[in-house]
């Protein structure tokens, strides 16, 4: 595991006024939810973004150094990030303190790998699950779990139970949850529906003609006195 760390300051003021004061000072308000207690923080934004970028935003375990604490180093993961919807900047961060010898439940990204024969035949890939809930020790958290789609045909569905799970990792997600499928292209579906409609109309016309013919056959012949 990478030896990553982030130094932060304790935040004296809490609430909205405290958060605004932290942002005015150029930091991000946040909280570390400890094993015994919680501590409000002021976090340097550039350092946090750089740390998260070490694994492309995936789950990162790192040491949180809280200035002013005697036992300052805490192993943590990101619990929640709030970003500005327009700029994308982090505006609040919550961390969760963990124990390195205890398993944790966490969601990891799923990444499709390989080429699907169904897609080559004109199908469209539909990814139904993008994260997988797992349980493992903190130092065994995978950056992502690959989903092999090299044998998925049109109409096939891969489920959680079909995935190759790394050693030391246990599933929390339902094994029957669908992960991805390859669906029939919309154009082909429309063509099928149109063909069925034309066939139905043709059958209707033939039926109408047959009924008309039967009606004519049932009419009595004209007789003259």
More confident residue, 44 or 189: 44
Which tens digit of pLDDT belongs to each residue from 109-152? Answer: 999 999 999 999 999 999 999 999 999 999 999 989 999 999 99
From the DSSP assignment, how many helices (H) and strands (E) are in the chain? Answer: 4, 13
163 pLDDT band, cuts 50/70/90, is very high
Share of the chain above pLDDT 90, in %: 54
Rounded CA separation 147/1 (Å) = 23
The whole-number average pLDDT for the span 97-107 is: 94
DSSP code at position 201: H
Name all contacts of 163-169 with Cβ < 8 Å and 24+ positions apart.
163/110, 163/132, 165/134, 166/140, 166/142, 168/136, 168/137, 168/140, 169/134, 169/135, 169/136, 169/140, 169/142
The whole-number average pLDDT for the span 206-217 is: 54
Please say whether the beta carbons of 92 and 82 come within 8 A: yes
Reference 62, options 77, 48, 50; nearest CA is 77
More confident residue, 203 or 40: 40
**pLDDT for the residue numbered 181:** 97
Rounded CA separation 96/32 (Å) = 6
**pLDDT for the residue numbered 56:** 46
What are the start-end ranges of the E strands in the chain?
Answer: 5-10, 28-33, 38-43, 62-66, 73-83, 90-97, 104-113, 124-127, 131-136, 145-148, 157-159, 170-171, 178-183
225 pLDDT band, cuts 50/70/90, is very low
- Domains and their CATH numbers in the chain: 5-97 (2.40.240.10), 104-183 (2.170.120.20)
**Model pTM?**
0.70
Which tens digit of pLDDT belongs to each residue from 51-98? Answer: 887 554 558 899 999 886 665 688 999 999 999 899 988 999 999 999
């Amino acid at each position: 595991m990478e030896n990553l760390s982030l130094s932060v300051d304790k935040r004296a003021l809490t609430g909205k006024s405290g958060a605004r004061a932290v942002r005015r000072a150029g930091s991000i308000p946040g909280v570390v939810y400890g094993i015994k207690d919680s501590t409000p923080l002021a976090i340097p934004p550039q350092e946090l973004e750089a740390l998260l970028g070490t694994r492309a935003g995936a789950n990162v375990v790192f040491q949180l150094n809280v200035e002013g604490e005697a036992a300052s180093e805490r192993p943590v993961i990101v619990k929640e990030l709030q970003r500005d919807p327009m700029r994308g900047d982090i505006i609040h961060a919550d961390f969760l303190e963990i124990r390195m010898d205890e398993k944790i439940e966490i969601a990891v990204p799923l990444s499709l790998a390989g080429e699907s024969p169904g897609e080559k035949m004109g199908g469209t890939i539909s990814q139904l699950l993008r994260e997988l809930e797992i349980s493992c020790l903190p130092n065994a958290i995978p950056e992502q779990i690959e989903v092999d789609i090299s044998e998925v045909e049109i109409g096939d569905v891969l489920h959680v139970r079909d995935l190759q799970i790394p050693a030391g990792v246990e599933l929390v997600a339902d094994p029957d949850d669908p992960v991805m499928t390859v669906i029939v292209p919309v154009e082909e579906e429309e063509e099928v529906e149109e063909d069925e409609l034309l066939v139905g109309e043709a059958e209707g016309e033939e039926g109408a003609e047959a009924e008309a013919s039967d009606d004519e056959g049932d009419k009595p012949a004209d007789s003259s006195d």
